[in-house]
Structure 1
Amino acid sequence: MTDLFSPDKGDKPESTQPSNGVSFVEVTDAYAGQRIDNFLLRHLKGVPKSKIYRIIRKGEVRVNKGRVKAEYKLSEDDVIRVPPVRVAEEKATLGVSKSLHQLLTSSILFEDDRLMVVNKPSGLAVHGGSGINQGLIEALRVMRPELRFLELVHRLDRDTSGCIMIAKKRSMLRFLHQQLRTGTIDKRYLALVAGRWPNRRKIVTAPLLKNTLRSGERMVNVSPEGKKSTTGFAIVQRYPQATLVEARPVTGRTHQIRVHALHVGHPLLGDDKYGDQAACQVFKHKGLKRLFLHAASLRVPMPEDEEELNIRAALSPELQSVLDNLPVE
């Protein structure tokens, strides 16, 4: 899809700059609801996060002439006083390779003036950080410089492929976040798990606790101290030594599907973090070189009683080829 959409003029906050270096920014509807710390991190690109929190804490940042805390949520027509700060020289903007540009362009499943849905390729992080210079959102911002607002609505693990939503307006971002909180967005995943998934196992409810190891690697495990987490599972197809299941996360915890499948003794194949390494090795010889987890579909209610959005993302050829070469039980 190559259609380009012009942003609303109101999507960019107005800023005035007095002679003393202090600037005043008027908040538009596009930024209403955003926390002041997150707003400043975008507005003052290159300023360290620690500096942002320091100027808020010291009262150098003011909203409507009053002091605020970092968690303060902006309202339309708020006036933000931004003190003069030294902005580090921005790193040269990374370009997007021709191959990645073509891949992402061909991966757009839906787009209008408020929302984009992309079939994210496996191996591409959703955003940069932790040694990753460029993720999906950074690449899209380079590809679409005319879009003043472009934000991830939710996340997918780097090795997970499939449907991911990117908001093109803050009002749509707020709306979709509300739908995610209330559980009205239906997300379905396809996963190939080790062994024979039992017919009776349709719901997994187990609290998940997120931990960070000394290496910085993020791990999740089932723990009574964790957050309540629920995933629905349905059998799609049985194969020797494996089962293709449809997973529907009711809650949205990090690595939820992977850890819940492991918890009931049927870890995902191709999973080098939580998987059964012997089983993964067997299926590697069958052509499975990556995590078999794919965000296959989205059903999204739209604002103002508009028609519900239904999106499906086909399995990548590499995953489909694995299934095509397995005998069916």
Structure 2
Amino acid sequence: MNTEKTAQVSHVEISEDHAGQRIDNFLLTHLKGVPKSHIYRILRSGEVRVNKGRIKPDYRLQAGDLLRLPPVQTATRTEVTPHQSVLKALQASILYEDAKLLVINKPSGLAVHGGSGVQYGVIEGLRALYPQANFLELVHRLDRETSGCLMIAKKSSVLRQLHAYLRDADMNKQYLALVQGKWSARVKQVNAPLRKNILQSGERVVRVNDDGKPSLSEFRIVELFKQATLMRVHPVTGRTHQIRVHATHTGHPIAGDEKYGDDNFNRALRQQGLNRLFLHAAELTIQLPEQKPLTVKAPLPEPLEAVLAQLRR
């Protein structure tokens, strides 16, 4: 990656190593010390240009792209090394690893990356665990309170391939979710477009909206309880907060969901021992280049198993 800086702007030529990466993720790493909110502001305003043209935050970089970056004020920042207990938890969470790919069972409560008041996340922790790695990038994201299968690419070519699978819905991801009430066996799909909204407080929320992006989730009943249902969910599309919003849209919000859930239901489940969002990425199946299909499973965390045991009693 060749960088040429002037007093007014910076010009960055994208190398093969960063091809396939979303430009917002690239800038979060490249512009260290710049607040995440400011990075998205300069993207939305068109101050960031690629090959002299405006782009959206989800634009995927290509080798040879020339970025024009406006002058930005970088804050002085001390690099924070994740606590040793976090590194040990990440080491113990590895489900699959080869020369191209890493899959972990992400703990609930740990963000996938630092920013917006979070000093570090999964990717910073893994880079501390793998100091000799030339390339480690998140393939996708999980909400901070969601646990389960999370993929990290070790090669840029693998990152591009897996991003293509995600765009084309050629990757099968299965989640377990505990939802409010008794789900009807007749409801097997939720097909409702989703749109992101920013509240006056700055909080990001997602709503069902006819002007939103097409979004499809498949739901299957696993186990019925008196006041809840354990569901297996396949998000055919991969929108932000998709499963959580689709579940609430059907009248069956996910247990422990403080953003889209039901306060009374959450309070009742806390009495059963639930102190987090009951959403877990339990399984994924992918086709890596020149390999047989790979299926990775993440066991349900013990605290969630304990909640189910309590409901059964």
| TM-score, normalised by the number of residues in structure 2 | 0.84
What is the alpha-carbon distance in structure 1 between the residues aligned to residue 139 and residue 155 of structure 2? 11
What is the alpha-carbon distance in structure 2 between the residues aligned to residue 238 and residue 164 of structure 1? 28
* Residue 3 of structure 1: aligned partner: none
Q: Computing the radius of gyration over CA atoms, which structure comes out larger, 1 or 2?
A: 1
Alignment of 1:75-86 (within 5 A): 76=63, 78=64
Which residue of 236, 240, 244 maps to 2:222? 236
Q: Is 1:111 the equivalent of 2:97?
A: yes
Report if the CA contact (8 A) 2:255-2:261 is conserved: yes
Q: For residues 149 and 183 of structure 1, do their structure 2 counterparts lie closer, same or farther at Cα, with a shift above 3 Å needed?
A: same
Q: Is 1:199 the equivalent of 2:188?
A: no
* Residue 68 of structure 1: aligned partner: 52
Count of aligned residue pairs for this structure pair: 303
Which residue of 161, 173, 179 maps to 2:159? 173
- Tell me the alpha carbon deviations over residues 119-147 of structure 1, each in whole angstroms, 9 at most, x when there is no partner: 11111111122211111112222222211
Report if the CA contact (8 A) 1:41-1:52 is conserved: no
* Residue 232 of structure 2: aligned partner: 246
State the 1:29 CA deviation.
2.7
- Tell me the alpha carbon deviations over residues 71-95 of structure 1, each in whole angstroms, 9 at most, x when there is no partner: 497655x496999x89857522111
What is the alpha-carbon distance in structure 2 between the residues aligned to residue 234 and residue 51 of structure 1? 40
Q: For residues 16 and 196 of structure 1, do their structure 2 counterparts lie closer, same or farther at Cα, with a shift above 3 Å needed?
A: closer
* Residue 222 of structure 1: aligned partner: 208
* Residue 8 of structure 1: aligned partner: none
Q: For residues 283 and 90 of structure 1, do their structure 2 counterparts lie closer, same or farther at Cα, with a shift above 3 Å needed?
A: same
State the 1:37 CA deviation.
8.1
Residue type matched to 2:289 in 1?
P
Which residue of 292, 298, 308 maps to 2:293? 308
Report if the CA contact (8 A) 1:187-1:299 is conserved: yes
Secondary structure at the aligned position of 2:128 is classed as helix
* Residue 31 of structure 1: aligned partner: 18
| TM-score, normalised by the number of residues in structure 1 | 0.81
Q: For residues 90 and 116 of structure 1, do their structure 2 counterparts lie closer, same or farther at Cα, with a shift above 3 Å needed?
A: farther
Q: For residues 113 and 204 of structure 1, do their structure 2 counterparts lie closer, same or farther at Cα, with a shift above 3 Å needed?
A: same
Report if the CA contact (8 A) 2:20-2:159 is conserved: no
Secondary structure at the aligned position of 2:211 is classed as coil
* Residue 246 of structure 2: aligned partner: 260
Residue ranges of structure 1 left out of the alignment (5+ in a row): 1-12
State the 1:287 CA deviation.
0.6
Q: More deviation in 272-281 or 177-186?
A: 272-281
* Residue 132 of structure 1: aligned partner: 118
What is the alpha-carbon distance in structure 1 between the residues aligned to residue 106 and residue 219 of structure 2? 23
Report if the CA contact (8 A) 2:138-2:153 is conserved: yes
What is the alpha-carbon distance in structure 2 between the residues aligned to residue 102 and residue 31 of structure 1? 29
Report if the CA contact (8 A) 1:188-1:298 is conserved: yes
* Aligned Cα root-mean-square deviation (Å): 3.3
What is the alpha-carbon distance in structure 1 between the residues aligned to residue 41 and residue 32 of structure 2? 12
Which residue of 175, 190, 205 maps to 1:189? 175
